[in-house]
Amino acid sequence: MPELPEVEIVKQSLDKKIRFKKIKRIIVRNRNLRSKIPKNFEIFLKNKNIKKISRFSKYIILNFYDDSFCIIHLGMSGTIHLVKNYKKKKFTNLSFYQSPILPSKHNHIEIQFQNFSIIYNDPRRFGFFELIKNKKKLSKRFSHLGPEPFSKLFNLNYVQHYLKSKKKYIKSFLLDQKFVSGIGNIYASEILFLCKINPQKKAQNLNQDECKKIIYFSKLVLKKAIRLGGSSIRDFKNVSGKNGLFQNEFKVYQREHLKCLKYDCQGKIKKKIISKRSTFFCNKCQN
């Protein structure tokens, strides 16, 4: 499942390709995604002019000049492909998951522009599209989610107040979108390793210094992942034929039984299941 950095890469790619463009036609081949595509979807989007593409957490947002919006969530297996009308391109995928070229099946939605189309492919159909009529409703739509790691709202006062008296593991909270939006399983393990915090430490037992580290390294890890193009867990490429490179920076994720990479640590990377997700950590420096 794409996490915040990978979704940000898709958002940046879309912004370069479809910003200021006018939607000519919409083809819906399957309305049965996680949320059913509304009946007015085609009419709502037709002839809309795109002002910009933004992102909140793991949601891509098409911003239109009439102050309406279309939210896209990629779910577990959703990908967005760019297909040019007048020539074939080897790589169509705007992300790093699933097929690097347009698959022949599960192409549920096609948004057509002047000389190209954006096609949404999703074998598992856990993704969705949502139409939002104005800014007030967009703000309300995300009101149940916590701040992003990059937000000024994700500060020491907020973190300490939120985690006070909480008995769940800190790893579980990093995955809890009500606490902080956008951190997924891969990056949660990497963040806690750099913080030298055991993922099974209860949130209420974190001291002030540890809370500061979580804030600092959450920003650091995600910014670096975005700069390196995200993480290509599998050997797939994006629309430019490039892999994400952050997987080369993994310190603990998918490194079970290997030696800790910290030069002064003799520990080994262990794996445990926390909140039904694989969690990787060093048995020495995160003890």
Per the annotation, the verdict on 2 as an active-site residue is: yes
Q: Cα–Cα distance between 98 and 156 in angstroms, integer? A: 38
Per the annotation, the verdict on 3 as an active-site residue is: yes
Q: Which residues, 6 or more positions from 169, have their beta carbon under 8 angstroms from its beta carbon? A: 199, 200, 201, 202, 203, 274, 275
Token duo for residue 12? 């940046």
Per the annotation, the verdict on 167 as an active-site residue is: no
Secondary structure (DSSP) of 52-100:
EEEEETTEEEEEETTS-EEEEE-TTT-EEEEEESSS--S--BSSSSS-S
Per the annotation, the verdict on 100 as an active-site residue is: no
Which one from 168, 202, 262, 277 is the annotated catalytic residue?
277
Which one from 11, 48, 58, 255 is the annotated catalytic residue?
58
CA 114 to chain centre: 29
Residue spans of beta strands (DSSP E) within the chain: 25-28, 50-56, 59-64, 69-73, 79-84, 107-112, 116-121, 128-132, 269-274, 277-282
Which one from 2, 100, 149, 199 is the annotated catalytic residue?
2
Helix (H, G, I), strand (E, B) or coil at 279: strand
CA angle (115, 92, 184) in 5-degree steps:
125
Any idea which residues carry the catalytic annotation?
2-3, 58, 277
